[in-house]
Amino acid sequence: MIEVKNVTKKYGNFTAVDNISFDVKDGEIIGLLGPNGAGKSTTMNMITGFIEATEGNIVVNGYDISKKPGKAKKQIGYMPEGVPSYQELTTKEFVKYMAELKMVDRKTRKEEIENVIKQTGLEEVQNKLIKNLSRGYKQRVSMAGALVGNPDVLILDEPTVGLDPKQILEIRNLIRALGKKHTVILSSHILSEVSQVCERVVIINKGKIVAIDTPENLEIKTQNKNVIYVTVEGKNEKMLSIKNKVKDIQELEYIKDNEDGTKQYKIVSDEKIDLRKTLFDILPKEDITIFELKKAEVSLEDAFMKLIDDRQESTNREQENIDEKQEKNKKKDVGTKLISNTAEQDQISPGENSEKKELEDNQKEIDKEKGGKE
Amino acid sequence: MWAIIKKEVKTYFLSPIGYVFIGIFLLAFSISFNLELGYSNGIIDFQNIFVYIFTYLPTILVFAFLIPMITMRSFSEERRNGTEQLLLTSPVSITKIVVAKFISALVMVLIALLFTGIFIGIICFFGTPDIPAALVTLLGFTLLCMAYVAFGIFASSLTENQIIAAMISIVTFVITWVLPEFIASGSNFSLINMFYKFTTGQIDIAYTLTYLAFTVLCLILTITVMQRRKSAR
């Protein structure tokens, strides 16, 4: 059981973590999700006692991390971001050192070390120096360091970063298996990972908690429109007129032409109304052949994007890009004018031609971007 | 705590640092020994020669420059490699971590000093050295090293750059060393001047306590730095 109560972390004027509270039940796998720099690692570092919270308190299995750090830390196995380890030691030496640091009972230590090495699949490399291991193995060594001593709570900071797909799968399975006996907090910016592994998700952005819920609930919560994708035979243009015939359609949009001559449309209706049956009935009557009809699922990704909502930020960035390009164009315009002034009577040189073309292209790009935005 | 000491000492010998440290020290010590033999014009003072070696400049100077070599990495390297995250999130308290780092560096110094026993052996073969005086000198030298190691550890806790950590130690040493030359009262700050008293064969209680106090002070400063960094990190 981990309780995080009104925790704030400030660096000077900058607030890295702003008054967050959540708790993790025994045997639960919880995911901290958020863009880079959201405060995930800071939160984890505070739970493990590596850094001190400016305000608020954190209680791990009944021990306050700032008041009883020794006992609280004993409950925790921590795998820091970037998987630091002692490069000059061998895998086994490292795990042994971690076991000793965690004061694992001398009698069971040897057995414990062997178990952990087996569990993380490190038997083959147990006598190799850590510095000679591949990234995937280093990750596992770090994991072994966190696991040794069988701590109740596991805190894993981005446990699958830098692994190949097979290793990711292995680590995920391992985490899932560990979640049966341990309380796990993991951080990630990979959404699919969190939705697969975690029972609950804490979404953090700019140091604040945006949402705490199960992945399923988050998907449902953020779904407020019913979206259907329909692919029809593209021989006639009747499709767009359907909108007038079915009053529940809020929006009907042409998406794309497929290679096989069919066309895809997007149909949006109110959350409570499922138009699939209606469409199946009405389209054949209008002499439109349905090739495909599917309901769009709101993924955790959509939920995440919606919650994070840094649309404002991205708009600003886009605007900046456009401004930059216009600035560039202006400069080029001036340059071109100068050239044409000095050689007024002369024919336009090929160089100038290409420059003009570039200008035109740039302008087109800008227009496109503006159009896209609107 | 024992685990950290064991691992630290082991790490010194896993890298060349441990060997280089002991090697260079013994080389300097041998040079001093040789110089002393040549200096005495055939009449060798076997009784006091061991003590004299310690008062020779190469011995002290080399040692002063060597100690930062073993202390500079103790916290700086952990900080740079991120392994301090493992160390500081373990149930071991910061005080114990600092003391363990101090003891492991001191163990290296003691190993090096143990080798000087060879010289006592050689002297014994040719004459009769003043063993108590030799032991008092060794004690004084150990105390000097303790103070210096503690300062080195403190310097290491200040920065993640090992070179800077070493420079802080060396510069501080040089300043306290040359200070008496310029300011009369500066000798009170000179750890080396205090050591010379021990070479006369007397255990000076006041100086012993000064060394110990300085050591403890440096360790407390290190603990404070580490604790402060917890909230500033």
Q: How distant, in Å, are the alpha carbons of A100, A158, A212, B212 from that of B104?
A: 16, 34, 47, 17
Q: Using the beta-carbon criterion (under 8 Å), do B82 and A82 form an inter-chain contact?
A: yes
Nearest to B83 among A45, A73, A84 (CB): A84
Q: From chain A, pick out residues whose CB is under 8 angstroms from the CB of B232.
A: 11
Tens digit of pLDDT at every position of chain A (374 positions): 899 999 999 988 899 999 999 999 998 999 998 888 888 999 999 999 999 999 999 999 999 998 999 999 999 999 998 889 999 999 999 999 999 999 999 899 999 999 999 988 899 999 999 999 988 889 889 999 999 999 999 999 988 887 888 888 888 888 888 888 899 999 987 777 787 889 999 988 888 888 888 888 877 776 667 788 888 887 667 777 888 888 888 888 888 888 888 888 888 888 777 888 888 888 888 888 888 888 876 666 666 777 776 434 544 555 566 566 666 665 555 555 444 444 444 444 444 444 455 555 555 555 555 554 44
When scoring A11, A48, A52, A132 by the number of chain B Cβ atoms within 10 A, the one with the most, hence best to mutate, is: A52
pLDDT tens per residue across span B121-160:
888 888 888 888 888 988 998 999 999 999 999 999 999 9
Q: Using the beta-carbon criterion (under 8 Å), do A78 and B89 form an inter-chain contact?
A: yes
pLDDT of residue B6: 94
Which amino acid belongs to residue B13? F
Nearest to A103 among B89, B91, B232 (CB): B91
CA–CA distance, B86 with A73 (Å, rounded to integer):
11
Contacts of A111 (CB under 8 A, 6+ apart): none
CA–CA distance, B181 with B101 (Å, rounded to integer):
34
Q: What is the pTM of this model?
A: 0.78
Closest CA to B17 of B118, B119, B79, B104: B104
Closest CA to B77 of A323, A211, A84: A84
Interchain contact A37–B (C-beta under 8 A): no
B11 to chain A: closest CA residue: A88
Each domain of chain A, given as residue ranges in start order, spans 2-220, 222-303, 310-373
Which segments of chain A does DSSP mark as H helices, in order? Answer: 40-47, 69-74, 91-101, 106-119, 135-147, 165-178, 191-197, 215-221, 242-245, 276-285, 300-308, 311-342, 350-373
B192 burial via Cβ count (<10 Å: 0-12, 13-18, 19+) = middle
Pairing mode, strands A262-270 and A225-233: antiparallel
Mean pLDDT, chain B, whole residue set: 87
A11 to chain B: closest CA residue: B232
Smallest CA–CA separation between B79 and chain A, in Å? Answer: 10
Cβ–Cβ < 8 Å for B76, B205 = no
Cβ–Cβ < 8 Å for B76, B162 = yes
B16 to chain A: closest CA residue: A88
pLDDT of residue B173: 85
Q: Does CATH place domain A222-303 in 3.40.800.20?
A: no
Measured CB to CB, residues of chain B less than 8 Å from chain A are 2-4, 6-7, 11, 14-15, 81-83, 85-93, 230-233
CA–CA distance, A34 with A29 (Å, rounded to integer):
16
Span A2-220: which CATH code?
3.40.50.300
Q: Using the beta-carbon criterion (under 8 Å), do A51 and B230 form an inter-chain contact?
A: yes
